[in-house]
Structure 1
Amino acid sequence: MTSPTPPAEPQFADRTYRSTSALVCGVLLLVLLAVMAGDALFQGKGQAPWLALAALLTAVPLIVAFTLRPAVFVNDERIRVRNPFRTIRLPWTEVADVRAGYSSELIAAGGAKYQLWAVPVSLRDRKRASRAAARVPHKDAYGRFSPGAGAGSDAHQHTAPPIAAADQTIMELRGLAERAGEPTGESTGTTGSVRWAYEVIAPAVAGAVLFVVLWAIG
C-alpha cells in the first residue's frame, strides 16, 4: 500500500509588501512610549505606575497594529492581507480587482472591499511621479522623440515614465490577479477567509478597561 503523496510545497516564498515609513514611525513611537512610561513605572508614586502600565497595555498593541502589523503577502495562488485588526486570505480566483484611488483596495468576487493598509497612497508621491514623467522623452505618432527637459543625448533611450510606489504595487498585484483569470465563483479547493486579530484587540481592550477603572477609583 502506497502512502498518499504530500501536497507540493510552493516553489518560491511569498512576496511581501510593507510600508517602510509606517515601520519607522512605529519603532520611533514605541521607543518614545517606552521612555515616557518607563519613567512613570520606576519613579512614579501612588497609582502612577499602574496607570502607566495600563496605558502601555493599551497603546502598544494599537501602535503595533497600525504601523508594524500591516503587510500584504502574495504568491501565484493567493493573496493574504494583514490589516490592523483583520487578516484576509483570498485565492486569486476570488479577487475581482485591486485598485488605488485615495486608498488601496482589494475587491472580492462577492463585492466585499478590503483596504490594503500596507500599501498607503501618497498624493505627493503621485504628483512627484507626474512631474518626473513629464520630463521623460516620449515618441509621437511619427516615432519621433518630443523635445523637452529630458530630450538630448539620452533621447534615443526610451524609458517608461515613472509612477508612484503605491501605483506600482497595485499594478503588480493586479497583474497576478489577471494571470489567474476571471473569478468563476466555483470552488477550486481553496477558499477565502477573514480572521479577526484577537491577539491585538484583547490586550488593547483590557488595558483601556484597566486604565478607566484606575482613573475612576483614583
Structure 2
Amino acid sequence: MRHTWRVSPAGRVIGIVFMAFGLWVMVRAALAGARDGYDLGIWYGFGFGLAAVLVPLLFALRPAVILTGTDVEVRNPLRTRRVPLAEITDAKTGYGGLRIETRDGRAITAWAVQKSNVASWSGRHTRADEVADAIRAQAVS
C-alpha cells in the first residue's frame, strides 16, 4: 500500500501559474536581449524569471508525504527523509506542517500538508488531520 499526499490542488495551480509567468519573463528577456543586446537589465529579468520558475517548483510541486507499508517518506523543498513506521511515536498537525515525532526524540516536519490556524482554533478536521491519522494508524499496526 502506498499513499501520497501533496500540496493542495489550489497551491499547485498557483505554483504552475507562477512558473508560467517566470517562463514568460525568461522568454521576453531572451527576445529583448537578442534584439537590443544583453545588458545588465536583461540578465536581471532573466534571473527573476528563473527564480519565478524554481521557487514554485520547489515549494508547490515537490513537497509530498508518502506512506508505504514500512515507512514514511517526507519530501520537503530541499531535503527528503525516510522514517520507518516502527520509529514513529506521533504525528501532529499545525500551521508549519505535519510534525512526525520519532522514538529517539527527533521531529520531522512535512511541508506538504498544513493545517491553518483558523482550522485549529475552530477544531475543524482537515486533510492534514487525515494524513496524521493515517500515519498514526500505520505506525501502531
Considering the TM-score relative to the shorter chain, is it more than 0.5?
Answer: yes
Residue 109, structure 1, aligned to residue 103, structure 2: yes
2:128 maps to 166
Is the 8 Å Cα contact of residues 19 and 54 (structure 2) preserved in structure 1? no
1:16 maps to 4
Separation of aligned partners in 1, 2:32 and 2:121: 49
CA 28–128 in structure 1, closer or farther in 2 if over 3 Å, else same:
farther
Counterpart secondary structure, 2:30: helix
| Larger strand share, 1 or 2 | 2
Once the two structures are superposed, the pairs formed by residues 44-59 of structure 1 within 5 Å of their partners are 44=33, 45=36, 46-59=39-52
Residue 30, structure 1, aligned to residue 19, structure 2: yes
- Report the aligned-residue RMSD: 2.1
Counterpart secondary structure, 2:115: coil
What amino acid is the match of 1:170?
A
Is the 8 Å Cα contact of residues 77 and 92 (structure 1) preserved in structure 2? yes
* Structure 1 position 51, deviation (Å): 2.5
Task: State which structure, 1 or 2, has the greater radius of gyration over its C-alpha atoms.
Answer: 1
Separation of aligned partners in 1, 2:4 and 2:94: 21
CA 21–128 in structure 1, closer or farther in 2 if over 3 Å, else same:
farther
2:88 maps to 95
Is the 8 Å Cα contact of residues 122 and 166 (structure 1) preserved in structure 2? no
Extract unaligned runs of 5+ from structure 2. none
Is the 8 Å Cα contact of residues 23 and 53 (structure 2) preserved in structure 1? no
State which of 68, 78, 99 in structure 1 corresponds to 2:71. 78
Is the 8 Å Cα contact of residues 62 and 75 (structure 2) preserved in structure 1? yes
| Larger helix share, 1 or 2 | 2
Larger relative contact order, structure 1 or 2 (CA cutoff 8 Å, min sep 6): 1
Extract unaligned runs of 5+ from structure 1. 1-11, 131-162, 180-218
Separation of aligned partners in 2, 1:92 and 1:62: 31
